[in-house]
Amino acid sequence: MNNDILDEMHKLDHHDEQRYRLLMRYLRLLQNERKQHGFLKKLRKQWKVYNSKKGIGE
């Protein structure tokens, strides 16, 4: 999906407002993906700590 946004953006003129909107949408998607990735990484770390305290999954 991200590549589709970039492809559409490249088709538009540099002074087109739609190009700016597509760029902002792309950046918001990237930001959300990074937040989600960070959240999942943190959750995975907490799960490992929780399991190690219980003696599970060693």
Tell me the pTM: 0.52
Tens digits of residue pLDDT in 13-39? 777 788 788 888 888 888 888 888 888
- Please give the average per-residue pLDDT across 38-57, as a whole number: 81
Share of the chain above pLDDT 70, in %: 91
**What residues does each domain of the chain span?**
2-54
Q: How far apart are CA 29 and CA 34, in angstroms?
A: 9
* Structure token digits, residue 2: 């991200």
Task: Give the list of residues 6+ apart from residue 18 with CB closer than 8 angstroms, or none.
Answer: 12
Backbone angles phi, psi at 28, to 5 degrees: -65, -40
Share of the chain above pLDDT 90, in %: 0
Give me the pLDDT at residue 57, please. Answer: 52
Q: How far apart are CA 11 and CA 25, in angstroms?
A: 16
